[in-house]
Chain A
Amino acid sequence: MVYEKIRAIICEQLSISEDKITQATSLTSDIGADSLDIFQIISNLEEEFGVEFTNEVAEQMKTVGDAVVYIEANIVK
């Protein structure tokens, strides 16, 4: 469920179709997100999941799967 929501947010931000994305997808090299895109995606993820990303965490977030792992570890259940 977390993955599906993250995928939808990324696709919405980058205007790409969901079949372009797997958990192994690199945000930058595979789907062309730049730093502003990534910050925008993170803002949307924070709003959707109520999880705060520090800039350090954001910098380490390379793949879609990284976002899934971080959110699943920090989401308030």
Chain B
Amino acid sequence: MLKGKTALITGASRGIGRQIAIDMAQSGANIALNYIGNPNEAEALRQIILEENVSCAIYECDVSDYNASKKMIDDVLNDFSNVDILVNNAGIARDNPILRIKEKDYNDVMDINLKGSFNIIKHLYPSFMKRRSGTIINIASVCGLRGWQWQASYAASKGGLIALTKTVAKELAGRGITCNAIAPGLIETDMTASLTGDKKKDFIASIPLMRAGQPSDVSKLAVFLASDLASYITGEVIKVDGGLCI
């Protein structure tokens, strides 16, 4: 489905980003992996991806850093010539009631989840415009649609990301570029591992499909949105939440 295309995936070394990278590689895409923090995880993923007979390179970069993001995009374009698919997946959560949220935690979440996505889009924008093709997939959250207690910064950042998605979709539609968001619900990753015991049981009981999702539930949709099958879909926010938001 993605043969010959190149995908840049941010926050790719773990969780949903990792699974998207694997699935896109299995669909034939060359993969540029962005990560921060753990080079061993990133390299291990690169080895898995190389087994799919596609190209793969890893780039350590804090996407919230405007200049570092610019350098990473320059490096990716230098290595791969172009990027067809951008997946803005890098994200963090710092859950707390608003009363307990420290200013730094709020800023970190907004900087990585929202400004980081803006940075990458901004620096890839000229390349997308010039080529008059490309697709952007932003990994948002159902929190960004509904709000969520104890997740003020996370929900605000994801709500902002959804607004950014729609803006980019309108702004670049004339160039044949699409931009969509995926809004996962409860997906079993490191990020949600702190949800345990009765709290997790209660949460799952509120999901109509009665289970937490897996990263592959999200990555399958990402592959579809990145493919030519989805070329007439833009500005959409698609929930992958087991019916949580029905």
Contacts and interface: CB of A to CB of B under 8 A. Distances in A.
B126 A34 contact: no
A3 B126 CA distance: 22
B174 interface: yes
A17 interface: no
A43 B126 contact: yes
Nearest to B175: A36
B129 A34 contact: no
Q: Which of B130, B171, B175 has most A Cβ within 10 Å? A: B130
Interface string A18-41: 000000000000000010110010
A13 interface: yes
A36 B130 contact: no
Nearest to B130: A13
B126 A40 contact: yes
A9 to B, nearest CB: 12
Interface residues of A, number: 7
Contacts of A36: 129, 171, 174-175
Contacts of A13: 130
Interface in A30-57: 34, 36-37, 40, 43
B129 A40 contact: yes
A15 B174 CA distance: 17
A36 B175 CA distance: 9
A37 B130 CA distance: 9
B233 to A, nearest CB: 21
A71 B174 CA distance: 29
A63 B126 CA distance: 22
Interface string B130-156: 100000000000000000000000000
Contacts of B175: 36
A43 B126 CA distance: 10
Contacts of B174: 34, 36
Interface in B95-139: 126, 129-130
A34 B126 CA distance: 14
11 contacts: A13-B130, A15-B130, A34-B174, A36-B129, A36-B171, A36-B174, A36-B175, A37-B129, A40-B126, A40-B129, A43-B126
Given A15-B130, A36-B171, 9 more contacts: A13-B130, A34-B174, A36-B129, A36-B174, A36-B175, A37-B129, A40-B126, A40-B129, A43-B126
